[in-house]
Amino acid sequence: MSIEIKDYDGKMLKTIDVVKSNFASVRAGRANAGVLDRIMVEYYGTPTPLNQVAAISTPDPRTLVVQPWDAALLKAIEKAIQTSDLGINPQNDGRLIRLAFPQLTEERRKDLTKQVKKYAEDGKVAVRNIRRDAMDEIKALKKKSEITEDDQKNLEKELQDLTDKRCKEIDELCAKKEQELMAV
């Protein structure tokens, strides 16, 4: 047999890692450097991730401090944060940028929960697409008579069990993130 279920499991695990990083970028009332991961700063004409041009620290639970390694970047970083979907106004003191995370409103919590559910659903769709690709490969092997019908059924069952397990993992991550968002 030339199909390895563990190869497809590896792809599913990568999908779960993407879902985790998407969840980390959703702010939950506490300061978390992960919310800045998607912010790109114009650095010598090249869009560069913020965490590659500045040190990011958390002096207290509701504040992030962004200290650029090149002071000339302060304005560009401030602009990048303002134009992002973070909804936080950066305070520039000439040396570093402070981001104060306000307490989330009930409405904002619900919006963020919807966003988290969308990320989770996108992840589950990706996992199911990986399953579909594997199923297609299994059927192709059966058609070429490289595997028996029993092998086909066993592989398909193993693949379905794996898909269910990975989707359940995503649901658990989603529930945990929702709980974190709704905690006051």
Q: How many structural domains does the chain have?
A: 2
* Whether residue 34 sits in one domain with residue 19: no
* Whether residue 178 sits in one domain with residue 114: yes
* Whether residue 121 sits in one domain with residue 82: no
Q: For residue 163, what are the CA distances in angstroms to 29, 127, 142, 146?
A: 33, 7, 21, 24
| Domain range for 165 | 5-23+105-182
Report the distance separating Cα 90 and Cα 180, nearest Å.
24
Which of 48, 71, 100 finishes a domain?
A: 100
What digits encode the pLDDT tens for the residues 112-166? 889 899 999 999 999 999 999 999 999 998 898 888 889 889 999 999 999 999 9
Report the distance separating Cα 83 and Cα 34, nearest Å.
17
Provide the CATH number for the domain around residue 149.
1.10.132.20
Contact 137, 151 (CB under 8 A): no
In the predicted model, residues of the chain with pLDDT beneath 50 are: 1
Provide the CATH number for the domain around residue 93.
3.30.1360.40
* Whether residue 150 sits in one domain with residue 89: no
